[in-house]
Amino acid sequence: MTTELSPGLVIQRFTAPLPLNRFKVIAFDMDSTLINIECIDEIADAAGKKAEVSAITEAAMRGEVTDFKDSLRRRVALLKGVPATFLDQVYTERLRLNPGAEVLLDAVHAAGLRSLLVSGGFTFFADRVRDRLKIHRAQSNVLGIEDGLLTGEVIGGIVDGAEKQRQLLRACEEAGCAPAESIAVGDGANDLPMMGAAGLSVAFHAKPKVREQAMVAINSGGLDRLLEVLR
């Protein structure tokens, strides 16, 4: 069953509203979900390489690139030699929280949910967004930096779709709840594994493949529209 609860808010396979206190954990993607940009594209733009990087990003988010780790390595390699100061420039000048992010996080925290930010983006941004929104934990990728320049490498393991799912399941274990008591919010193909594991999957201004598989699709308005589904 598919219902447009109100303009731009579609629910599938369940009847709204659901009680918010039914859930114990909520996990968010970051880029284009909690925030308004794809950080890697904006770093590339500041370095004059946005067209090359954005083309790979878009294909990955649509699900046309099946190996996210490889696509991320290819994009990061294009940033070799970019001054690390560009990260702060992107954060200060371009990154904004998406509408409704603060309202939604305040509401789920007030209801006692544990929050998780799990991103295929970078710790420089994820840790700052975590702190701004008082999110309990963040997991993301580490950019290599030497002598003030990006090395073109990711340090350590890469957070891909499978890792996002693992982090959601870890958060549920830490909270002492079943995955069915969790919510996952994302917009791209690499969010689908964690969304598939969650009890409630939410697509936010998402790619068509993600909207089709999500239980809730927010196609207009802010993240706080999820509160129209949860009571």
Just list the catalytic residues: 29, 31
CB contact at 8 A, 56 and 149: no
Name the β-bridge partners of 217: 10, 203
CA distance 159 to 164: 6
Burial call 108-121: b when 16+ CB within 10 Å, e when fewer: bbeeebbbbbbbbb
Tokens (6 digits) for 156: 């350590």
Cis peptide before 19 (omega within 30 of 0): no
Amino acid identity, position 58: E
CA distance 196 to 209: 13
Q: From edge to edge, which strands make up the β-sheet containing 9-12?
A: 2-6, 9-12, 216-218, 200-204, 182-186, 25-28, 114-122, 137-146, 149-155
Beta-carbon contacts of 102 under 8 Å, excluding residues fewer than 6 positions away, are: 133
Share in percent of the chain as helix, strand, coil (round to 5) = 45, 25, 30
Q: First CA to last CA across the chain, in angstroms?
A: 20
